[in-house]
């Protein structure tokens, strides 16, 4: 069952300006930027449609108010084939990561990239964002805060918001760690304490203006659910 009504998928192609140098032959060389980049049939707009039409939001994560962003990398060969699909950074939730990998692996052949008049292999980095249309928890696998790490088990087990709040409120970095602040805001919102939820969402924006998911979401939630 697809949960497209419940999710917003943001897609972008991220390119780094370098190329591999350890290649046995020009045929084995893989670029990350070329004169004419590979293209999904119909272009980026069609690629977005393809992802939206094929992605399936894991039902249990919808029920548990869990989301996240998966960063994937794949190679478009000089024949337009999609190969070596792998996860650069996952959401922290296996079924979500598996779904992102599955959808990218389903893609049809692309128009190959071109460099110096010849078709070449090119790497692409693609983020796929699993987002609900309401405040939802995110787990940042790079965050090493002890209490924050413990919340992952609570979130996947569907524990009551009171347990998550108690754990994160006791975190020594709750006033500076954006991830901790964000999940606290979500927990308070779900528990019905909108005043405290708004306090944490506002604090996130006061701490950072980075274009990252927790900041973007906090800004959106302030506009939707907080009157001041």
Count of Cβ atoms closer than 10 Å to residue 91 Cβ: 25
Instruction: Provide the whole-model pTM.
Output: 0.85
> Which residue bears the tokens 């039902």?
59
Q: What is residue 26's predicted lDDT score, i.e. its pLDDT?
A: 62
154-163 long-range contacts, CB within 8 A, separation 24+:
155/64, 155/66, 156/64, 156/66, 156/93, 158/63, 158/64, 161/187, 161/188, 161/190, 161/191, 162/191
pLDDT tens-digit readout, 7-16: 343 333 333 3
> Which residue bears the tokens 């087990």?
157
State the alpha helices, DSSP H only, in 88-132.
94-105
Structure tokens that stand for 88 in this block: 């650069």
Give the distance, in angstroms, between the CA of residue 73 and the centroid of all CA atoms in the same chain.
Answer: 13
> Which residue bears the tokens 């506009």?
223
194-207 and 213-225 are packed helices; what angle lies between their axes, rounded to 10 degrees? 140
The torsion of the CA quartet 93, 96, 101, 104, rounded to 10 degrees, works out to -150
Q: What is residue 22's predicted lDDT score, i.e. its pLDDT?
A: 46
Q: What is residue 28's predicted lDDT score, i.e. its pLDDT?
A: 77
> Average pLDDT for residues 179-184, to the nearest whole number?
98
Domains along the chain with CATH numbers: 4-130 (3.30.2420.10), 140-225 (1.25.40)
- Mean per-residue pLDDT of the chain: 89
Asked if 70 and 78 count as a contact pair (C-beta separation under 8 A), the reply is no
Using 50, 70 and 90 to split pLDDT, how confident is the model at 6?
very low
Residue 127 CA to residue 73 CA, distance in Å, equals 9
Q: Is the pLDDT confidence value at 40 over 50?
A: yes
Helix or strand run (H / E) with residue 143: none
CA distances from 139 to 90, 92, 156 (A): 10, 6, 10
pLDDT tens-digit readout, 48-103: 899 999 999 999 999 999 999 999 999 999 999 999 999 999 999 999 999 999 99
């Amino acid at each position: 069952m697809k949960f497209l009504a419940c999710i917003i998928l943001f897609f972008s192609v991220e390119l780094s300006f370098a190329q591999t140098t350890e290649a046995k032959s020009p045929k084995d060389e893989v670029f990350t930027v070329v004169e004419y980049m590979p293209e999904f049939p119909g272009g980026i707009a069609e690629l977005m449609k393809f992802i939206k039409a094929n992605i399936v939001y894991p039902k249990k994560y919808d029920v548990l108010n869990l989301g996240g962003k998966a960063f994937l990398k794949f190679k478009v060969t000089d024949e337009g084939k999609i190969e070596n699909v792998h996860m650069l950074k996952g959401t922290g939730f296996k079924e979500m990561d598996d779904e992102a990998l599955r959808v990218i692996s389903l893609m049809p052949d692309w128009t190959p990239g071109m460099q110096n008049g010849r078709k070449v292999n090119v790497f692409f980095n693609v983020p796929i964002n699993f987002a609900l249309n309401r405040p939802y928890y995110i787990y940042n696998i790079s965050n090493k805060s002890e209490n924050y790490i413990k919340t992952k088990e609570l979130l996947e087990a569907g524990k009551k918001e009171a347990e998550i709040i108690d754990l994160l409120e006791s975190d020594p970095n709750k006033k500076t760690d954006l991830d901790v602040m964000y999940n606290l805001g979500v927990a308070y919102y779900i528990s019905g304490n909108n005043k405290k939820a708004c306090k944490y969402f506002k604090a996130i924006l006061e701490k950072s203006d980075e274009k990252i998911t927790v900041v973007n979401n906090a800004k959106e939630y302030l506009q939707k659910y907080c009157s001041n």
